[in-house]
Structure 1
Amino acid sequence: MASSNDITFRLSRSRGSVPRARALLHAVLGGWGVGQEVLEEAEPVLSELVPDALRVPVPSDRRIGVRIARSAAEGLLRLEVGDAGGGRPEVREPGEDETGGRGLLLVAALAHRWGYGERAAGTGKTVFAELKAPGIVAEPATREVAAVMVRTGQTVRVRGEWRTVLGVRSDPYAAGGPAVVLELAEGPSLRVRAAEPLTLRTGECSG
């Protein structure tokens, strides 16, 4: 089960998944209060790992998995991208006239450590990169707020797991009264009554 120190989501095998992964990274790190310097290193790393996974030959219906995790004790931010394909990621040193092949060079330069291993499901591989994030903090306490108080970028507990909120909109409830629709980083949208209590991280409350 994911905790607020560990956010996972799956992306379709399309070019639109690269900007979506970056947007999710911004939302997650913003919710964690991670500094701009770490974000500026994490974004290009994820922007290299995701396209690499998308280029791996696999059945067209296989999605890629992304995990963003933090360790306050070690002061590290960990990015993981998994795919169902084979092969080994290797750092190349392309010639001056080559326009590609430098992705893992960038990852190796920015990361404190990187590598790969078998996916937990047993099919394919997961490539990871760890970045130093000395200012990263541990998982905060939680509190309950009315759904209408939740804002974009915050994180709520949905069916026992933490989900980052990508968007919020109002919507009339079928039985009458106001409702709130939360667009989530993973899984379907959540539609609840405006006054329904939701668990939110302490320090992320607005209004």
Structure 2
Amino acid sequence: MQTILKFRYFLVFLLLISCGGDSGAKKESQSTKDTDTENTVTSSTNKTILFFGDSLTAGFGLEVDEAFPALIQSKLDSLQLSYTVINSGLSGETTAGGRNRLNWVLNQKVDVFVLELGANDGLRGIPLQETRNNLQAIIDQVWQKSPETVIVLAGMQLPPNMGQDYTSEFRTIFPELAEKNEIPLIPFLLKDVGGIPELNQEDGIHPTVEGQKIVANNVWEVLGPIVSK
């Protein structure tokens, strides 16, 4: 009889251990779910900066993490600013091409939209009014999709071999559009880089790794105050 009782006590003991272990597992599982949820919420609170441009944004000839958008991301991270950078640069892109692919890009929420297009238009001698119209249309489309989005326009300049009249008028497109739309302007994206052989690749157009660092600084001068608010 005592043996039977002891056996019953032993079964009860095993049952308690089993229930306790299951409870612990449930708590651990729930804790893991809570942590995952917290990480998801934290990630979703990040704002987005989208760099919409051509090969200068894409980092032609370099690794993606060497292009200036990636350098901006590193800067944001170092300052513990909750922004995620998206590099939407496409080599060879013109303002017309950018206008055509814009709707697809705007499927995601964008808090800051950095518009860097126009250089390929100028190098191809595209009529300046067409370039101006396309840039304005891109600005309009971004605001139509999200009126709260901050748009930053990157100014560009052309080498003198394109002709004085053409290059002069091309240069004025960007500050005039910035003033008209009351948006921040990066006066010249390639300031202190363009035309300097040691800061450009063999083609003389696309910045080297060191050149991209300077470009990132040019961008940050305008972008920094916006994201630090």
> TM above 0.5, one fold?
no
Greater RCO (Cα-Cα under 8 Å, separation 6 or more): 1
* The structure with more strand, counted as a fraction of residues: 1
* The structure with more helix, counted as a fraction of residues: 2
Give the TM-score range, shorter chain. Answer: under 0.3
Larger Rg: 2
